[in-house]
Structure formats: C-alpha cells, structure tokens
Chain A
Amino acid sequence: MSIRINKESCVGCGKCADICPGTLIAVRNHKAEMDYPRDCWGCVSCVKECPADAIDFFLGADIGGDGSVMNVTAKGDISRWKVTRRDGSVVTIDVDRRNANQY
C-alpha cells in the first residue's frame, strides 16, 4: 500500500511530510514528494491532513491492487471516503465520527 501525490493540486504546505509516522515524504521546490513508496504503512494520515485533496492511496499489485485509488475528505463530523476504480467508476462511503463501531 502506498500513496500517490498529485503535483498539480499540491500546495506545498508540508502537512503530509510533518505527519507521516515514517518520515517518508519531503517537500522540494514547494511540492511534496513520496521518497520511500515501499516503506508506506498505509495509515493514510497524510491523506487526512492534506488540505488540497492531492493525495490518494492505493494497494500494491502484490496485495491485490487492481488500479483503484482512495482518498478521504472531512466535512464537520462526516468523513467521505471515495474509491475511484480503474474504469473511472466511483464508490463513496460516509462515516460519521459521532458513531461508534457497531461490531
């Protein structure tokens, strides 16, 4: 599992680099770069921090990745998780932070 940073939307704020628990991301010339894609744990902390919606995460092909990417944006208590499949179709799941896990 790893991340993909969209250079065009990246605003170079460095929040992803600051939060990454593995210090795997660096900002150069006002753009974030994933320096160690093979060392990503998949915690998606960077995706949650990014104010520009510029980071997606994906599953490596070795663990069943099929070309889909996922990201998440929060509005108030609702986190909207969005999966964009290889064919462009989209699946969204909304999670309310006020609700606990039922299981």
Chain B
Amino acid sequence: MIEIKQNEYKQILKHCVDGLPNEACGLLAGTINGEDKTVLKVYGLTNPDASREHFSMDPKEQLLAFKDARAHGLVILGNFHSHPESPSRPSEEDKRLAYDSSMEYLILSLKNREHPVLRAFEIAADKTVTASPIVLKLRTDALIIGGGTAGCYAALTLSRYSGLSVLVAEKANIKRSGCLAAGVNAVNAYITKGRTPRDYADYAMKDGAGIAREDLLLSAAGLFNEVTSDMEKLGLVILKDANGDYVTRGDRNIKINGENFKPLLAEAVRKASGVTVRDHLNITDLLTRDGKVLGAVGFSVTDETRYVISAKTVLVATGGAAGLYRPNNPGFSRHKMWYPPFNTGAGYAMGLRSGAEMTTFESRFIALRCKDIIAPTGTIAQGVRAKQVNAKGEVYETRYERTTSGRVYGTVRENQLGNGPCYLKTTGIGEEKAGELLKAYLNMAPGQTLKWVESGEGPNERDVEIEGTEPYIVGGHTASGYWVGVNRETTVTGLYAAGDVAGGCPQKYVTGALAEGKLAALDMIRRIQSAPEENDSDPETLARPILDEYSGFLTRKRTLYSIEELEEAMQKIMDEYAGGISRDYQYNGRQLDIAREKISELTELEEGIYAADNRQLLSAYELKERLLVCQAVIAHLRGRKETRWRSFNENQDFPDRNPAYDNKFLNSRLKNGEIRVFWREKEPGNEYSD
C-alpha cells in the first residue's frame, strides 16, 4: 500500500493540471516500512518532451531531487506522470520505460477533469502490471457521507453559511444518486395556503399512530416552503395558477417537473465554494473514539484507492435500506423496486457499529405501488382521484383504516378474502388525462409509461393493478432511523443524520430531506465555530483494521457461495420468517427467533466471502450492511409486543394495539455484537429517557 496525504496529493494534482495540455511528471520520495510505503515529498519535474503523449524527466532536476531526498533521509519510491486524455493505465511505452520493478509508477488521468483518477502500478521485469492500492489521507472540516438530496443540500448550506471545507463522499455520482435518480412528480410535504407546520405535524403524528417526534416534525415542516422556493430558484419547475400561486394537490402537495430535481441540486453543489465532491467513493465505517466521531474510512468503487478521512464533524445521509426482503420481482427484474436498490442501509450499519442509538426499525415501510413496475401511485390516486377497487369493482378503501399502513393492509386483506387483484380505477378518465399521466410518469418512473405503451392499453383503457411492495426501512416515510436531536445530531458527538437515514420524523419526503440537511449543516457550522479545534492528529490506527478487512475480501480464496447467493438467502429468510410479502407481512415470535438464528449464520458466512474486484467489494459491504440492518429489524419486531400498524408491524402474537406503548419509542444499540432494544419515554420536560 502507498500512503499519500492530502498535501502531497494536491501537489501531484496541481503539477499535472499546470502542465496541461501536456503530460507532466515528477518523482516521489518517502519511507518504506515492510509492505507500506509513505509518500512524504513530491518533486514536480519538467517534461522536456512537452508532449501530450510522452514524457521524460529532466536529468538535472532528477539528480537534484535524488540529492534532496537523500539529504532528508528519504528514499525514492517511484515516479508519477499524467495522462491528459486517456485512462490511468500504463501505456506500452510506459511499460517499456519501467526499468525498476521495485518502483511505484503512479499515473494521474485527467480525462474527466471533474474526477481525476490516480492509480499506482508495479511493473515487473517481464512487464506484467500489478495495481497497488493507494491510501489517500484527507482532512476536512465537514464530511458528508452520501450525496443524495439531504447530503447535497447540507453541502450547499455549509458553503453558503460558512467558509468551512466540505467533502461529499458519494458511492455513485451526485448527479443521479439517491431516491431522485429518475425524477419526482410532486413535492409531497409542503405547507399549503391556510395550513401550518402544526397541521403537518398533527397529520404525520396521526398517520404514524403517535410514533413520531413533534419537535423533529415541527422543525422540518418550518422549512418545507423555504427549501422549495430555493429549489425553484435553482431552476425547478413548479405548477402555478393564473395568480402565480403554486397549484396544490390535496392538503400537502404541490406539482412539479422534477425530472431534473437532482441534476439541478448537484450542479449547485459542484459550483459551491469550499465543497469538494468525490464521486465513486464508498464509505464503510465511521472512526470514533470515546463516543466522538473523528472521520471515516472508505474505498473507491472504480479503482484501488482507499480513503482515510479525518473530519471535525460528519453527516450521515446515506438513505434508507432496500433489498432486505425478497422483492416483488425476484427474477431478472429483482431491482425493479420502488426504493433505490442501491440504498443498502450503509448509514444504519455504520452508526450501529459506532454505538449510535437507533429508533423504530419495526415500523417497516411497505408501499402500495403499480404492479410489476412498482411505480408510485400518488400521481394517479391523488392526481386523477382514482379510487382503490377490488376485482368485483367495489371501492374497498373505506372499509379499512384511512392511513398509509391501512391502505396497504386493506389491499392485502382484499386479496386474502378472494377479492383480488386490486386496482386503481383509471378507466374512464379520458384520453387527455391518460396522455398527461404517460408524460408525468416519464419524469419519475419511465418504465410505467413504457408498460402502458408496450401493452397497447393506457390507463384510460385498463385499470392500474396495485400491490404492496416488500418492506423497506425508510425514515422519510416512517419513524425509523437514527435517534437524533432537533439539530439532527445523533447520540455520537459530532455525528449528524439527515434524510431517510434519520428517524423520528416520518412523512418528511424530499422537502424533509432538504430541511434536515439544512438543520444539520447549520449546527455543524455552530459546533466547529464555537469550539475551534484541530482535526484529530491521525485516525490511521483506527482505520488500519478496516483497510486490512478490504484487503481480506479481495485476496482470500474463492468461496463456495457468492455474494449474490448469500443475498438471496438473506431475502428468503426475511420474507419467510420476518413478515415478507409471501407471509402477507405477518409474523410471530417463533418465526422471528428462527430469522435471528439464520441471519446470524449467514453473517458468519459473509465474513469469509470473496470479492473479485472493487465493484464486488462494494457488493460485499452492501450485503454486510444489510445483514446487520436485518438483525436490527428482527430485534425491533420482537421488541414491539403489539400491533401498532397493520402490515408494517403485524405481530400475530399480539394482534392489537396496546395503549401502554402510546407515545413511547422502541430504540436500540449494538452492544457486544448484539442488538439491544429498550423503550424511551417522553418526560414532562419534553426530553426522552430510558
């Protein structure tokens, strides 16, 4: 492994960018300790070839660099050069000119200026090339893990309200990562004319059967309209009436063209001063000491770089967890689900491992969606006011509780009673409305439009069949996630959570993610400015076991089971023993005990799994994260000895609501490898305690 600190990395980058459009080059000096090499000095040298495709190093400058390194007691570790227009891979010429197999040959590709790629290679005498992992050590004031809606808006807020350095670590690309990749059709949490944040909080509280935090709901709802107007300034198109007022849909929604919601937000983040975005960087673990966060560790999904990041504050904004349960379409289209399959519960898992307190994982979110494509139904149900009907044509929603979970339960129940399938009654809406629906879905879930066109029958000609999804853990819809304070700080000092990963604030949706990103960012600024302190000198010792774990996955022998096979096994267990689709979302204590045992067996198998490359390493960690979240979900389902919400937690041992649990939260922590659950009660002073 080659360790490079931020300063040295910046010198390499600057020398190469300054050398454009030609190739730039230089030497690297440092120390060697066994397998580990540390770069301590960078010598940028002149490329006398002054060419875009070749380099040589000025001999006089080389000599000076060698002398200087020796004078400082350092050895030459290798050289670096840039590839202005091509990927970071040794060319035939690079290989030919590599005379010393003990040297590291670093190549910085500037092909994509937004994403410079630095890789290191060892080139043997027979010219075989081996990539060596680089450990890049970065420092920042604020680290944001996950560049989705909440993470991006937090970055923007930090930039607008402070001069702090901000690093956004995103495992894909912030332009289309997170829930809004394909777009979104409405802002579902907005305070419409004549309504107040209090009305919003009351609604969310009622829908969640009292399991929601008033303080969190009110603080988010207080910002819904402000963040919406800010998005409009960034270019978001919002439907307005003749007076220039937003057109509302129901009590809390406004209609937008949100196809480019995420690109607009991402573009603003890329332009924001003080913000560095690192796409394709997957964070796996937080670094903490004595209950305080010091930074995080991760790896690049697209090359061999590992990252050790030291930060004064950290925001987790990794979203919720999909893929825990066997999905609606378990075959070829297994990822055609409603929630992003790439939201794997990473933030929950890293929080649990760092001792953070979590809440309400037993309130699983099950969405009622268009069958097969699993596209949202709100545009149809609220937009064209289509009713839920069963196969006999009866409107059944009025027979069940009029809540989010009640509507899912009603559909399950109608099927159990032999009245399925169930539909949204769209026939008869007319061609014009049907045409508008086709367009609306293109801006949000284009697969649904393709299905309508492909089948030759639009929504006006055939009712839209609906079904419940597999359960997800999503803090944007139910109260599950990190236990946070009103400023969105978690129980780990300096660690914040916003968006779907943060708990206690259900029904917050997209504007809630923006609002929480802002609330967290403002408090991160306050924290850093009120107690200016240096970054922890070196979280390297804490990071070492995690870096070794990465190497372990990549270097061990191929195992009997693949990552994919273990994932399917996990989803089958959760489906059959923890209330998945095939069990109509119901479970009992004996089943949960079996689930717990089997998931723990799988967790042991997973620890020895093999990953062939960096992309598979991502899959290995996603599975690891999901397995831990599964354990937490099982422990929470076991802990709530009542049925608070139909379908979401339908405990067959305790089929009714127990008033003793009103206004209490079921929370958890990971302790000595086990999830421990406990109740938190509201005290008269509005504080919650064990």
| Chain A residues at the B interface, C-beta cutoff of 8 Å | 1-2, 14, 18-23, 26, 35, 37-45, 57-66, 68, 70, 72, 79, 81, 83, 85, 91, 93, 95, 97-103
Contact = CB atoms under 8 A, between A and B. Distances in A.
A68 B186 contact: no
Contacts of B454: 59, 64-66, 68, 83, 85
A97 B257 contact: yes
Counting from the closest, the 8 A-B pairs by CB-CB distance are: A103-B383, A100-B239, A43-B181, A63-B372, A60-B333, A45-B176, A60-B332, A68-B454
A59 B255 contact: no
B172 A83 contact: no
Contacts of B445: 42
B174 to A, nearest CB: 10
B342 A21 contact: yes
A23 B450 CA distance: 24
B522 interface: no
Contacts of B177: 21
Nearest to B280: A23
A66 B455 contact: yes
19 contacts: A23-B618, A35-B615, A39-B334, A39-B341, A41-B337, A41-B342, A42-B373, A59-B333, A68-B453, A81-B442, A93-B453, A97-B259, A99-B237, A99-B257, A101-B256, A101-B379, A102-B436, A103-B255, A103-B380
Contacts of B239: 100-102
A102 B450 contact: no
Interface residues of B, number: 64
Contacts of A97: 237, 257, 259-260
B264 to A, nearest CB: 11
Interface in B167-183: 171-173, 175-178, 181-182
B257 A22 contact: no
Given A18-B112, A100-B238, A101-B440, A70 B173 contact: no
B192 interface: no
B165 interface: no
A2 B341 CA distance: 14
B36 to A, nearest CB: 28
B373 A41 contact: no
B167 to A, nearest CB: 19
Contacts of A22: 172, 335, 341-342
Contacts of B171: 23
A18 B173 contact: yes
Given A23-B171, A103-B384, A103-B437, A62 B333 contact: yes
Nearest to B282: A23
A43 B450 CA distance: 13
B439 interface: yes
Given A19-B172, A22-B342, A63-B336, 18 more contacts: A1-B335, A19-B173, A22-B172, A22-B341, A23-B618, A43-B176, A43-B182, A57-B450, A59-B333, A59-B450, A63-B333, A65-B454, A79-B259, A93-B442, A97-B237, A97-B257, A100-B257, A101-B439
Given A43-B182, A101-B185, A103-B440, A60 B255 contact: no
Contacts of A98: 237, 257
Contacts of B96: none
B449 to A, nearest CB: 7
A23 B333 contact: no
Contacts of B279: 18
Contact of A93 (B182, B255, B433, B449): B449
A100 B257 CA distance: 4
Nearest to A35: B615
B336 A60 contact: yes
A59 B374 CA distance: 12
B92 to A, nearest CB: 15
A57 B335 CA distance: 14
B255 A45 contact: no
Interface of B: 112, 115, 171-173, 175-178, 181-182, 185-186, 237-239, 249, 255-260, 279-280, 301-302, 329, 331-337, 340-342, 372-373, 379-380, 382-384, 433, 436-440, 442-443, 445-447, 449-451, 453-455, 615, 618
A67 B337 CA distance: 21
B333 A1 contact: yes
A1 to B, nearest CB: 5
Contact of A68 (B182, B372, B383, B450): B450
A87 B75 CA distance: 68
A62 B331 CA distance: 7
A4 to B, nearest CB: 13
Centre residue among A44, A58, A63, A68 by max chain B CB count within 10 A: A63
A56 to B, nearest CB: 10
B186 A45 contact: no
Contacts of A91: 453
Contact of A62 (B181, B260, B332, B453): B332
A95 B336 contact: no
A39 B615 contact: no
Nearest to A22: B342
A42 B446 contact: yes
A21 B373 contact: no
A62 B436 contact: no
B255 A100 contact: yes
A40 B340 CA distance: 10
A101 B455 contact: no
B329 A20 contact: no
B418 to A, nearest CB: 24
A67 to B, nearest CB: 8
Contacts of B379: 101, 103
B176 A21 contact: yes
A57 B447 CA distance: 9
A66 B457 CA distance: 13
Contacts of B260: 97
Contacts of A66: 454-455
A19 B178 CA distance: 12
B664 to A, nearest CB: 37
Nearest to B183: A43
Centre residue among B171, B178, B342, B618 by max chain A CB count within 10 A: B342
Contacts of A20: 172-173
Nearest to B111: A14
A40 B271 CA distance: 30
A19 B439 CA distance: 23
Contacts of B238: 100
A91 to B, nearest CB: 5
Given A19-B175, A63-B333, A101-B239, A44 B257 contact: no
Nearest to A24: B615
Centre residue among A1, A60, A70 by max chain B CB count within 10 A: A1
Contacts of B186: 101
Contacts of A79: 259, 442
A32 B449 CA distance: 26
Given A19-B175, A23-B615, A38 B332 contact: yes
